[in-house]
Amino acid sequence: MTTTQAAMDRQCHPAAAGVVPILRTLRNPAEPVLSYLSPPPETTMPRLPRNTLRNGLWIALLLAPIVHAGNDRPAAAIGKSTHLAENAPLHQLRVYELFDDTRSAFHDRFRDHAARIMDRHGFDIVAIWESRSEQGRPQFVYLLQWPDEATMRTRWDAFMADEEWSAIKRRTGAEHGDFVGGIEEKTLRVVDYSPHTSFGDG
């Protein structure tokens, strides 16, 4: 290579003018040393054409953000598990705040009327409890089981629009006053490691 050709190469390829890092392993493989050596002579490593080097650089620059984005994906996006049981029924927990002076009348109304009309609209009442709030007020708690959320919403709408139930609420409200002070509701979805996914009579 002539002096003029070497100068031209240095202008076109800055790497050829400087030094490039390569990893050289000494006789002891456990001691890698990062050395800065001039590129090997053409007799041992042929010089690649300028177009090949330039194209390779562009490909590396284009692929770098793609590889980086793939490594940054959260674990939840990679795995498919959501820890929710598949094809499991939905449960609905409802808590009513009651009043001591109308508590007994509320239980009578729920037992004799609300539960009966709910059953007519396809409600599945799993269990009913009574509790006390932190303020000592009585609470009425019950658990419902549904095949899915759409069914739950549809049947609740039908129950609330039921003419018999509306008439019973008006009559008992006029007779006893307010029955319920507040309502809390939680929709519960079974996780895939729950010992039970549904509740039955057995």
HEC assignment per residue over 134-147? CCCCEEEEEEEEEC
Which is more confident, 197 or 108?
A: 108
In eight-state DSSP terms, residue 42 is T
Q: For 32-60, how does the pLDDT look when each residue is reduced to its tens digit (9 = 90+)?
A: 544 444 455 554 555 555 555 455 555 55
pLDDT at 68 over 70: no
CA distance 16 to 48: 12
Where are the domains positioned within the chain? 90-189
Which is more confident, 188 or 56?
A: 188
pLDDT at 73 over 70: no
What is 90-189's CATH number? 3.30.70.100
> What are the helix (H) ranges across the chain?
3-12, 14-17, 50-71, 75-78, 103-109, 115-120, 149-160, 163-176
pLDDT at 10 over 80: no
| Continuous segment of H or E residues that includes residue 125 | strand 125-132
pLDDT at 72 over 70: no
Question: Whose structure tokens read 């059953």?
Answer: 119
pLDDT at 118 over 90: yes
